[in-house]
Each structure stands twice: as structure tokens, then as C-alpha cells.
Structure 1
Amino acid sequence: MSNYYTSPRPHHASQFPLEASQLYKERLQNDAKYYIWDDPYLWRLCNDQVIRRCIPNTEINSVFRFCHAAPGGSHYGSTWTARKVLHCGFYWPTIFKDAYQFVSTCEKYQKAGVAISRRHEMPQQPILFCEVFDGWGINFMGPFRVSNGYSYILLAVDYVSRWVEAIATKTNDAKVVVDFLKSNIFCRFGVPKTLISDQGSHFCNKVMSSLLHKYGVVHQIATAYHPQTNSQTKVFNRQIKKTLQKMTNPS
């Protein structure tokens, strides 16, 4: 397989090396049906029915640097990095093994890349909503060290698609929340059926109540004794904090 893959052009029956065994030829011919040669690239039809470009050994490190160390990569673990490589449309036979070796040499990941525990991982069956963007969880992060006057992050997560909207803010008050909901959620994704938040005063106040009542949005509040109500937002909070730590900590 490795000899077949590393060759830029698929073998034909008459091109097999003289020393090739019959088993090797049969395996090669069976694998060949998943590959497409479109000069100058070799492509593979993967198990998920997505056609991806085969990457030669000389380009592997460049792909990993983009998918792991670039701003969009955020120095996540090996499995996440390997899946991002596949998501970006690239393939080679040892992606997951090579991702593990690459990530193990990443200094930023080794210092801050602790995996999310089972206790804190994303729930597989959260609160059920009928349609995408029907229910959003919202939460503030911070305060952080002030940068250009901003010290908070306001984060909203759609419970069906897990789409995330986030902005940097200077304060964490009700006006910021109301403006965010109007500009970033209601106008772009439509008015949701449910908004989930904690009991913070920036979410539980007359201004918010008036806005949600006006648009017919049910406000579901996560209580201190059952914080799992807004669990998806909390998970993304941890992921974003880890990402910021890896991207901004120079040591």
C-alpha cells in the first residue's frame, strides 16, 4: 500500500515490479478503485464518500502546522487535529498516527492542552429543540486582562447545530446583552424559542425580560444546583479559555 500511495500515478497491471507477489498485485488493484489520478494530484474516495487530495510526505508537516498551530487550529489534541485535516480535504494513510507524533512535539499543547474530562465533555443528548437556532445558551467569560479596552467575552451557543457566536466586550451589563441578542442572534438567525442563561444580573433584569417578552422568547434559567441546564455554553467557555491561553501565553 505504501509503495502504491507514494507513487504519484496509480500502477497498471503491466507496470508492477517484477518481484511483486501476486498478493501484493491483488491488494493494489483492489485499493486502486478508491483512487483518482487528476494530473497533477492523486485523490482518494474515503469511507465517508468524500473525495480528498492525497498529500505526499513532503507536505505533511505544512498541513499539520496549518491545522494545529495556525490561529484556526488553536493547538488542540491529536484526534481533533487529524479530523481537521480530513475536514480540510486532505488524506494520507497514517493521519492519526502522524498527528499524535506531531502534537507530542508541540510545546504550547504540552503546557496547556489538557483534554476535557468525561465529566465536562459535550453532552450527547442535551435539552431537545425541534429546529436549528430554536434554543441558545448564553454566558459571559471574564474578566480577562484588559486588551484595547475589552475585558469580557459574551458567548452564545445554538443547542442543535452547536454554532457559536462570540464578541469581546468592555462591560458585562444588560445593555451589552440586549444589543448582542438583537444584532448577532435575532437579526441573523431569527428569533429563538428559548434562551438559556445563568442567574447573573446581566441576564435577569427588567430590560432583558422586556425584550424576551416582546419577541415571545422563553427565558430558561440555570440554577446553582443544576448548572447542567446551560452545559453546552460552559463547555465552549472552557474550550475558548484553553485556546486563548495557548495562543496568547508566550511562555
Structure 2
Amino acid sequence: MTPFRRYLADDLLSLDPVEARIVKKNGNRYTLVDGKLFRHGYAHPILYCVSGEQCTQIMTELHEGLCGSHIGDRALSSKAIRAGYYWPTMREDCTRYVQRCKQCQRHTDWHNAPPEEL
């Protein structure tokens, strides 16, 4: 998201021609408001772009929830979009987060697991 932020704020492009073409082509999907980057979504008018530690915090709050629902990876990424957040690797990050949740692994339905350890 940094190349898009630089392109919208200062009109600077990368020296790599392939990356510069991608940023110019997809730059109209992003908007910079008061120094914060937003992405225009399909079903939602505008999504707040987050990165780094904010992604982990958002996934933690949505996954564990107020009642401790521990939703799955697809539901978690959909819920993050409905909450108004966006980051480029959202689907993979949510999958990885749910797979590493100790409570989800402890209380999962094991009837589909193989009888011996892999």
C-alpha cells in the first residue's frame, strides 16, 4: 500500500516500470483523506487500509469476539471487510490466524482427521 500512498500524496512512482504501471493502473481504486489511505470496495463504498500490527489486532477482536465465537477464516475476512477494513493479504492472513488459534484447534471437530498422525 506504500506505493499507492506515495503516488497519491506526492505523485511519485517506482523506478521499476512494471510496478509503476501497476500503481498507475490501480491508483484510481484508492483515495487519500487526511493522510489516511482508503480503498473503494465493490459492495462497500470505502474501506480503511490497515497494515502491520493493526491487522493482527483487528483479526483478534473479530475472531474471538465479545462472546468468543471463534469464526472460521472465510467468515473472518468477510467480517473484516464488513467492518470497513482492507489489507492486500487479508484472506491468507485470516487463514493463518485461524489455523494457529489454540482454542480452535483444541475444540475442533476431528471426525475428518486421519486416524494416524501425518
**Per-residue CA distance 1:67-114 (angstroms, 9 max, x = gap):** 101325611111111111111110011111000101111111112244
1:32 equivalent to 2:27? Answer: yes
1:15 equivalent to 2:12? Answer: yes
1:50 equivalent to 2:45? Answer: yes
Between structure 1 and structure 2, the one with the greater Rg is 1
1:71 equivalent to 2:66? Answer: yes
What's 1:61 paired with?
56
1:6 equivalent to 2:33? Answer: no
Q: Assess, with a 3 A threshold, how the Cα gap between structure 1 residues 92 and 83 changes in structure 2: closer, same or farther.
A: same
Aligned residues: 109
What's 1:85 paired with?
80
TM-score (norm 1): 0.40
Structure ranking higher in strand proportion: 1
TM-score (norm 2): 0.79
Matching of residues 212-251 of structure 1 within 5 Å: none
Gaps of 5+ in 1: 115-251
Answer whether contact 2:30 2:39 (CA < 8 A) is retained.
Answer: yes
Higher RCO (CA < 8 A, seq sep 6+): 2
3-state SS of paired residue (1:76): coil
Gaps of 5+ in 2: 110-118
**Per-residue CA distance 1:208-245 (angstroms, 9 max, x = gap):** xxxxxxxxxxxxxxxxxxxxxxxxxxxxxxxxxxxxxx
3-state SS of paired residue (1:30): helix
3-state SS of paired residue (1:37): strand
Q: Assess, with a 3 A threshold, how the Cα gap between structure 1 residues 73 and 90 changes in structure 2: closer, same or farther.
A: farther
Sequence identity of aligned pairs in percent? 21
3-state SS of paired residue (2:7): coil
Deviation at 1:59, TM superposition (A): 0.8
3-state SS of paired residue (1:15): coil
Q: Assess, with a 3 A threshold, how the Cα gap between structure 1 residues 32 and 72 changes in structure 2: closer, same or farther.
A: farther
Structure ranking higher in helix proportion: 2
1:112 equivalent to 2:118? Answer: no
